[in-house]
Amino acid sequence: MSKKLINDPDDLIAELIEGMVSAHPDHLTVEGETGRAIVARNGPRDGKVGIVVGGGSGHEPAFAGYVGKGLADAAPLGNIFASPSPAQIMDAGFAADGGAGVLFLYGNYTGDVMNFGMAEEAMAKQGVVARSFVTTDDVASAPRDKIDERRGIAGNFFVFKVAGAAADMGASLEAVEAAAKRANDATRTMGVALSACSMPQTGKANFEIPDGEMEIGMGIHGEPGIARVPAEAADAVTDRLLHPILGELALNPGDRVAVLVNGLGSTTLLELYLLHRRVAEVLKARQIDIHHSWVGEYCTSLEMGGASVSLMKLDDDLINWLEHPCDTPALRVGAEEAARGETTNRTQRTRKQVDRESKVSKHDLIATGTITPKVFRRMMAASAQAIFTQRDHLCELDGAVGDGDHGVTMEIGWKAALSALDQSADKATISELCNVMAQAFLDAVGASAGPLYATAFSTAGVAVSDRLNLDAAATVAWLAGMTEGIASRGGAAAGEKTMIDAWAPAVLDASRALEQGASVASCMMAAAEGAARGAEATIQMQSNRGRSKKLGSRSIGHRDPGAASAAIMIAAWAQALRDA
């Protein structure tokens, strides 16, 4: 068990935000109902493109550390290693909006893409033009011919800086987006991990690196890299990291670069300077000029040991954007000049409230079936408790193929869902309860599980919107709605090693049981058996979706955590029906 200087893990992000704002009151404030949008006091202004950077917490100083004049106008903070929710992103987006459009910048991760995309759609409905730009600097995460699939890691630093400068200098939304693309195209990163980090909720390492070994190409959430090799000295490690970067950037004598040597959380500056020493030595031998270097912690992974090296191949415009003044807690360039810059008027913008009041007439609903709203609530409570019990196990499964937070993420979602159910009307229908849980997951979770289960519960609720109670056929329709929602939002298909590999066989087996005249309880038991079989089958699958796709054949031999949690929930529903 790791030791951390924290209080209640459930209060971690709120206290992080409170600490940041109290430490930097001249730079930062908080706006919006979610309390998760950190906003620059001297950044957003009318007529300027709003810059919003964001992602999960645990990468400090990224992302909120780059909020300030001349860089980012706002940053929504997600849970540890999990994307912020659409509501949190919208709070940041409306705070940053100056009437010229808003650009969201974030790393290329499934959860971020889903949540920021949903925020874009919602803001468009309220008249705000928002666009997304995903960073893809991680050389290790996909081959060059699939560069759009690469992760965004420490090279975010350069892309954020360039986009923020272009916006501060008055560029249009299209021009700012083009500047971000130029920076991203010119940036490559490669990392190495020496030791694991641990989730604050569990205190356990979310992966293992044996003594005397290191992981090449490790992601910033602890995702495994492309190879595990014997540990090497600083120069040899630097050469390993530089080789693919130099190969892709095609640098020639006389070219100029910016260098970032980034620590992942527990690597000393002494070690980072040794890495930079070798970077400078290699570049000098190639007659490549270092225009400027940054050495330190700029995008971390909690307390993970290791480092990354990023190079950005420069041209005159990129140099001008890098040198443009900015003043943020984590980065100051020409800070005195930035502080003297003029700030024009800012119009406060907030999002409109959506009326979610149900207009359903209970008298028109079909009342046959043994799953009443009361029984349905008990089923949901049972699945929540099952997830709570299996939280650490799910995190361990996720640590083998991802970032180790799936159990924590599902726990957060179900805690929010239970709280929302407790506050819902006593006479709420099953469809209405589904909508309540959908919103709870979406607001609380972020990550990919938030949009996936929000869409699942919403779609399932629509499937039974004509029912007061569920009979066997309606129960199977509800399960099918859950599966349809997940598939439509995530785009996954059976066989790709995702939660769909549990949900699809669950619906198939439940449908077969229904055809044979099975009861509600028997249909749900068949679903549980199908989900368990499907989750087991993922062990032998190679991942073709999400973060674990980057592992290739290394994902074989590990159960998919999303499929495992789906099987746990469906089994709990079956047990609750047996006990009813």
Catalytically active residues, by annotation: 221
307: its two tokens? 């480092």
CA nearest neighbour of 309 among 381, 366, 234: 234
448: its two tokens? 């990919």
Integer Cα distance of 97 and 272 in angstroms: 38
Is 111:134 a contact under the CB 8 Å cutoff? no
In sequence order, what DSSP letters do the residues of 93-119 get, joined into one string? HHHH--SS-EEEEEE--HHHHHHHHHH
Q: Which residues of 33-48 are buried (b: 16+ CB within 10 A; e: fewer)?
A: ebebbbbbbbbbbeeb
Residue 55, helix vs strand vs coil: strand
Integer Cα distance of 414 and 385 in angstroms: 9
User: Which amino acid is residue 37, in one-letter code?
Assistant: A
In 145-266, beta strands by DSSP E? 187-195, 213-216, 227-230, 256-263
Task: Give 5: exposed, middle or buried? Use CB within 10 Å, 0-12, 13-18, 19+.
Answer: exposed
Integer Cα distance of 30 and 35 in angstroms: 6
Give me the half-sphere count of Cα atoms (radius 13 Å) on the Cβ side of residue 310: 33
Q: Are β-strands 332-333 and 227-230 bridged in parallel, bridged antiparallel, or unpaired?
A: unpaired
Give the bridge partners for 193, in sequence order.
215, 306
Integer Cα distance of 555 and 273 in angstroms: 34
CA distances from 122 to 93, 117, 131, 432, 437 (A): 11, 9, 12, 21, 19
Q: Which helix (H) or strand (E) holds 313?
A: strand 305-313
Q: Residue 536: which residues within 8 A CB-CB, separation 6 or more?
A: 559
Query: Which phi and psi angles does 300 have, rounded to 5°?
Result: -100, 180
Query: Which phi and psi angles does 232 have, rounded to 5°?
Result: -130, 170
Give the bridge partners for 213, in sequence order.
230
Integer Cα distance of 562 and 567 in angstroms: 9
